[in-house]
């Protein structure tokens, strides 16, 4: 194994950044994770994300999925041109294959600025749908507060990434709009225990994330998340209590000229016979909808010593995972929209019929799990 490969996920201590004497150590460890792994565990984040809030959210998750099916269906994603809401088991695809998971897509608060005549991608952000408050009292407030705090953590991490790449702390700020014009997307996901007739263990298929940064709460003790190294081996990223899992997306890889690496990953369903489902809560820290990462006005200049480290590492390997190559030519918002269309054809058919026909000329694909 070379230094550019990896066999485990590093763990970084966020509290190091709070002390000027230990912050350089964190920056060095972050640089290594950025360039060689693409994933890390982050511990000791309670200065930004309240630990009791996290535990409270974990307590709500089984109750959320235990709501009556008709109540969950009232907030189904098909209602929303923003691809926010509930998805039944087996309703999402990765590379055309069914993901064996049930989920609620819920984002930070936002009012869509799309109006007739605007590009469709400006409507990919908008208000979330929540279940009836009377059925799960306090959940909406807890989730909104959690998303707000984790978004704040993400913003701090973006500044640290800039420093790790030899830029000033605001070196990546050009890729973000004002806070009122930004939205960051979360999910609450349940990976059920498959039955004996299940033909696949795909919780979610191999893919990269699109944006700069994903912050994942593994909300149960189940393993399942796996990360692909340069040899093509799948490395377990099992839950570590008191941590978030951080990974870097394709947009960050593009704008850093391949210094940062996005890493393919997947989730396996819990083994047959497991006593309970697997739960997770990712937050995708987005960049602005209008950003074209290949536009010269967004080009970044890195110190020679950082570019030398990249060149010594060598080129990143390519996989057949979903890789968001549209960043080469499309604005970020369009990349997001195309990804959502491919993953949720039923929503696209209702709200984006032209794109739906382009990607699914034969109509809706067969989806869902038969019991």
User: What are 249-297's pLDDT values in tens digits?
Assistant: 999 999 999 999 999 999 999 988 899 999 999 999 999 999 999 899 9
- Return the SS3 of 94: strand
Asked if 265 and 310 count as a contact pair (C-beta separation under 8 A), the reply is: no
Sign of CA dihedral 246, 248, 249, 251: positive
What is the pLDDT, as a whole number, of residue 346? 94
The mean pLDDT of 241-246, rounded to a whole number, is: 98
Answer yes or no: is pLDDT of 371 > 60. no
Nearest alpha-carbon partner for 99 in 188, 195, 201, 186: 201
Answer yes or no: is pLDDT of 106 > 90. yes
Range with the lowest mean pLDDT among 172-176, 201-205, 254-258, 280-284? 201-205
What is the pLDDT, as a whole number, of residue 4? 60
The mean pLDDT of 325-336, rounded to a whole number, is: 92
Indicate the length of the chain as a whole number. Answer: 371
Answer yes or no: is pLDDT of 369 > 60. no
Which structure tokens are listed for 333?
């918002």
> What share of the chain in percent tops pLDDT 90?
84
Answer yes or no: is pLDDT of 10 > 80. yes
- pLDDT tens, 208-231? 999 999 999 999 999 999 999 988
- CA distance to 83, 123, 127, 343, 350, per residue, from 79 (Å): 8, 13, 11, 16, 9
> What share of the chain in percent tops pLDDT 70?
94
What is the pLDDT, as a whole number, of residue 194? 84
Asked if 180 and 241 count as a contact pair (C-beta separation under 8 A), the reply is: no
Answer yes or no: is pLDDT of 3 > 80. no
Nearest alpha-carbon partner for 203 in 130, 268, 253, 271: 268
């Amino acid at each position: 194994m070379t230094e550019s490969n990896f066999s485990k996920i590093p763990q970084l201590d966020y509290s190091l950044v709070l002390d000027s004497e230990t912050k350089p150590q964190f920056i060095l460890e972050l640089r290594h994770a950025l360039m060689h792994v693409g994933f890390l565990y982050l511990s000791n984040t309670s200065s930004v994300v309240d630990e009791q809030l996290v535990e409270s959210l974990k307590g709500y998750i089984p109750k959320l999925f235990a709501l009556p099916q008709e109540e969950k269906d009232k907030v189904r994603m098909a209602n929303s041109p923003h691809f926010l809401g509930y998805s039944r088991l087996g309703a999402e695809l990765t590379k055309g294959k069914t993901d064996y998971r049930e989920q609620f897509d819920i984002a930070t608060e936002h009012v869509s600025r799309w109006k007739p005549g605007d590009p469709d991608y400006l409507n990919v952000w908008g208000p979330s749908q929540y279940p009836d408050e009377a059925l799960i009292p306090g959940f909406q407030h807890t989730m909104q507060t959690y998303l707000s705090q984790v978004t704040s953590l993400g913003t701090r991490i973006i500044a640290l990434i800039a420093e790790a790449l030899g830029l000033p702390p605001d070196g990546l700020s050009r890729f973000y709009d004002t806070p009122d014009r930004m939205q960051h997307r979360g999910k609450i996901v349940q990976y059920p225990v498959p039955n004996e007739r299940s033909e696949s263990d795909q919780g979610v298929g191999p893919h990269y994330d699109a944006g700069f940064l994903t912050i994942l709460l593994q909300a149960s003790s189940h393993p399942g998340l796996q990360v692909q190294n340069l040899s093509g081996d799948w490395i377990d990223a099992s839950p570590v209590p008191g941590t978030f899992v951080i990974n870097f997306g394709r947009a960050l890889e593009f704008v850093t000229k391949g210094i940062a690496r996005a890493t393919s990953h997947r989730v396996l369903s819990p083994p047959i016979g497991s006593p309970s489902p697997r739960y997770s809560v990712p937050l995708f820290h987005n960049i602005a909808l209008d950003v074209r990462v290949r536009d010269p006005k967004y080009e970044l200049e890195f110190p020679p010593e950082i570019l030398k480290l990249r060149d010594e590492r060598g080129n990143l390997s390519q996989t057949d995972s979903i890789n968001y190559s549209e960043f080469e030519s499309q604005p970020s918002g369009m990349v997001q929209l195309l990804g959502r269309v491919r993953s949720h054809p039923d929503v696209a058919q209702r709200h984006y019929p032209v794109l739906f026909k382009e990607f699914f000329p034969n109509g809706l694909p067969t989806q869902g799990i038969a019991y």
